[in-house]
Structure 1
Amino acid sequence: MPALPAFSAPWRDRAGRLSGLKLATFLFALAPGLWLAGAYAADALGAKPITALLHGTGEWAVRFLLLSLAVTPLRRIANFPKLILVRRMLGLTVLAYALIHLGLYVVDQNFVLTKVVTEIATRIYLTIGFAALIGLAVLGATSTDGMIRRLGKAWPRLHKAVYTITVLGLVHYFLQAKIDVSDPVFWTGAFLLLMGWRFLQARRWPSNPLTLTALAVGVALATAGLEAAWYGLASGIPAERVLQANLAFPSLIRPAWWVLALGLTLPALNAARLAWDRFGGGKPVRSSPGAAAVAR
């Protein structure tokens, strides 16, 4: 078979064939950026379009970062091993949106680089966000096949820094949100859900509908507590009032309920996979929780 060119289209697999999964992921990665660009061109972003673009690109960077962390749990829970093919693409998408986010901040500061540097150095939420961006750049630069071979066993250890980077990104998201932190709370809950699954694997606990349901409920409660604590510390709102609001379903749907709904998709996927395997629709997956613990 002839060697592949140095540059291969992102929608092709390693054999050069069109991959429907990679094409769909590539189009999905482009969609938010194209929507934001179209909204800017149509003057549909309000009185401060650059600020809207700045927030939008930052939010999508966080979302794609969490999607990249969801690849390993989903491919194991849903028995969809091909998902691993798009993890690198998702990671590079995170870096792209984060770099655009920084570029828009430079635009917002009228290209005065001394002011940009001073702001990043003196405003803690900008310092945290910039540190996360540097981490993403390092992971992006070491994500090539050549760097994976060159780093060898050090590569997995280096790329576990993605968890710290995610925490930094979420803290940056919280601090810049200021008043309404509903979105940062939800995405932090999603992160806790993904890390909770990894904790189960590290402890060699089985991933089944019962344990995954317990995980979803536990993380939803933790999310409600996180929101109450944040408002209590940041704005002085009594924590019990926020907790009461979280329990006021369905009059007001707080982020914890959305996290619960998201978490319950995991046991649903797992149950569907088990039923599919049981009735001969697919090959059962050998359980290897210990091995899963070393995967991102």
Structure 2
Amino acid sequence: MFIFVGCAGGGTSSMFCQRLVKEINEYDENLRAVFDDVSHVFQKRLSYGSHYDLVFAYGAAGDIRPYNAFDFGQLFDAVLIAPQVSYLKAYVEEMLAKYPSMVMDLPGRLFGVMDTERAYVMLLDLLINLDMRRGYQSQLLSASKGTDKDMEIYVAGAGSQEIYWKNMFKYLEQENIRYCVTSYSLENLYDFKPKEDFDVRFIFGQISVLSENDFARVARRIDGFLVNASSIGALRSRREWLEAYDIPYIKFDDAHVKKDLKNGNFVQQEEKIWDFLEKVQMKTEYTHEKSVSRFEQKEMAKQKTALFGLISWEEN
């Protein structure tokens, strides 16, 4: 079981988790527990999950945002909110509403005096019904790329007001394709509330801003890449990422486009984009969520190591 304890900045939740883990490991021979900061828990979730019964992560409650709610919601069975940030509970519940995670307050007196013996008793009560509730909700909720799902296309190295895209949007309107246009940021990628229904969302941005650390989150939303010729250089260093997640991409601009636009002949470009959208649509309908270990987790070192002298894991 994975449990996130969130406070203002991670300091007091770290102390609380440390003492709670010590209590569990010293007095309950049936359970093995470990704690770590939330970033390391994400990186090592497979290793921690296979070695320990209870994995506590500490951090800032306010760090749960729309763009990483998927990560928190898929990993953590429970999210415990420290009393000094109890005002964030409603916000966290909203962020995790689509996921089978239980969000609850830590009692102020319990957290303030660091009464880990009482905390452990409370935790055991939580464990009794948590698996049942989470299992039930997991059957109802899903958040994968293949189940939402209108298409979301990243347009790299171009602007929506360029003549190429003005012509392309006009063509899509003629074909009764509903589209919307936004600019890229990781926050906007997830925190997006369109006023009208759409079939395709075109997200304009530079491919150079996509980092390896964030690409797992990008890959959960983006169904395909349209790359301007000016961004081919930046694409080369990231092509492996797209291929790892099986995300299709094409170069949408070439040496003939300006000439075609000048002569009023845009048909080839229309057909090219149409064929690409059809290909992407097929993939989004029949492809399941894909996880790539390079981007999404790191294994613990295979050695016996102590963490603050409290716990250890054996060599494999």
TM-score (norm 1): 0.24
Structure showing greater Rg:
2
Choose between structure 1 and 2 for higher RCO, CA contacts under 8 A separated by at least 6 residues. 2
Q: Which has the higher strand share?
A: 2
TM-score (norm 2): 0.22
Q: Which has the higher helix share?
A: 1
